[in-house]
Structure 1
Amino acid sequence: MPARRLPSWAWVTGLTAGAVAAVVALAVQADHGPKPTVVSARPSARASASPGPHPAPTPTAVKVPDGSGTGRRIVYSLGSKRVWLIDASDAQRRTFTVWPGTVGPEPGTYTVSTRRETTTGFDGVPVEHIVYFTARSGLSIAFSNALDGSSPPAPTPGARTGGIRMGKPDGQALWAFATTGTTVTVVA
């Protein structure tokens, strides 16, 4: 008696059932394994050691300069080339280093007057998160970050720029913090 061949639909059905069983077994096994954790997208209160496209966080905060006021404010130290974001309870929320422009503000107290999502800086670099707080010698002084996260190029000799640049994550944090009317304290 000749051997009987199984119809092709029987082979396909058998293989499909086997594949489904294997996938179910792997899914059950994966369900019992380690689970990924959710990482918060909120800015960290840790300080960044240096500006750049990917600032490196440091484990300790840098002390806010004495005489920088009280309450919710942005503190900018000309000498340290550093910014602090301070909340209403005088707690430091974030600090980071910056690249100042060639024309800087005088020490004093200012308020955020205008904000702008994007523009092109005086150095020709596309910037975002522009937070204006004063003017000097006919030049607007503002915080911003390069759209691509890069550090500013070396200024052309004789160029006048009022942008205070920072890394992209720091620019995003400052933008979220610096609403119109926020106090900006500039110290030497």
Structure 2
Amino acid sequence: MPVPARRLPSWVWVTGLTAGAVAAVAVLTVKAEQGPHPTAAASRPTARVSTDAKPSASPKASPSPSKTEVPDASGTGRRVVYDLSDRRVWLVDADDTARRTFTVWPGTIAPAPGTYTVSVRKDATTGSDGVAIEHIVYFSVVSGVNIAFSNAVDGSSPPPPASGTQTGGIRMAKADGAALWAFGDTGTKVRVVE
């Protein structure tokens, strides 16, 4: 007469698989922290001069030299800092050195001050304003509108939005968009300040 095989209870399988997954994630995290982290190329900030009479479609005038320093309340470590009132972005390395800073054209919807994480990156698409954009780095959603950094493929400033249009794109010059794209991997911290 054959003897039936004993089966392990399902909780043993689940516990074993969970422990294995946690161990694998821990090992990968340690290896990722030890690996190289990209840095943005150092560059002098530039101001753009616009002949357009619409101030909402162009970045603010170049701030005083003290305004180009990373804001004090922007956290520490490797991060992207976005100052809402100054319309300025900094790419900050792990040693708290600002590698690049530049002005931006914000959308009509702004993220609340706080700390976010780059969640999705997309090479290229068409913005809600119909402009071909690239280097899209998403980090927040406000009232169902995605908030992301990007630049126009042709390097142009965004057109003024139609009345009542909600846009979450934070546009920048083409070279600045390429630098942010190289710096802002998925998981990079984004600190929004006022």
What TM-score do the two structures reach when normalised by structure 2? 0.70
Q: Distance in 1 between matches of 2:43 and 2:93?
A: 11
Q: Distance in 2 between matches of 1:50 and 1:104?
A: 22
CA deviations over 1:5-52 (Å, ceiling 9, x no partner): xxxxxxxxxxxxxxxxxxxxxxxxxxxxxxxxxxxxx84332222388
Give the deviation of 1:148 after TM superposition.
0.3
Aligned with residue 103 of structure 2, among 88, 97, 102: 97
2:161 maps to 1:155: yes
Q: Distance in 1 between matches of 2:104 and 2:111?
A: 14
Q: Distance in 1 between matches of 2:48 and 2:101?
A: 10
Aligned with residue 45 of structure 1, among 43, 46, 54: 43
User: Which structure 2 residues correspond to residues 127-138 of structure 1 after superposition, within 5 A?
Assistant: 127-138=133-144
Q: Distance in 1 between matches of 2:193 and 2:147?
A: 15
Aligned with residue 114 of structure 2, among 100, 108, 111: 108
Residue equivalent to 1:164: 170
What is the one-letter code of the residue matched to 1:122?
A: S
Give the deviation of 1:186 after TM superposition.
0.1
2:184 maps to 1:178: yes
CA deviations over 1:57-83 (Å, ceiling 9, x no partner): 99x681111110000000000000000
User: Which structure 2 residues correspond to residues 66-145 of structure 1 after superposition, within 5 A?
Assistant: 66-145=72-151
CA deviations over 1:99-132 (Å, ceiling 9, x no partner): 0000110000000000000000000000000000
List runs of 5+ in structure 1 lacking aligned partners. Answer: 1-41
List runs of 5+ in structure 2 lacking aligned partners. Answer: 1-39, 51-58
When residues 185 and 106 of structure 1 are mapped into structure 2, their CA distance, relative to the original with a 3 A threshold, is: same
CA deviations over 1:141-160 (Å, ceiling 9, x no partner): 00000000000001111010
What is the one-letter code of the residue matched to 2:151?
A: N
What TM-score do the two structures reach when normalised by structure 1? 0.72
What is the one-letter code of the residue matched to 2:47?
A: A
Residue equivalent to 1:13: none
- The structure having more radius of gyration, on CA atoms, is 1
Query: Sequence identity, in percent?
Result: 62
Local SS of the residue matching 2:164: coil
Local SS of the residue matching 1:47: coil
Q: Distance in 1 between matches of 2:177 and 2:87?
A: 15
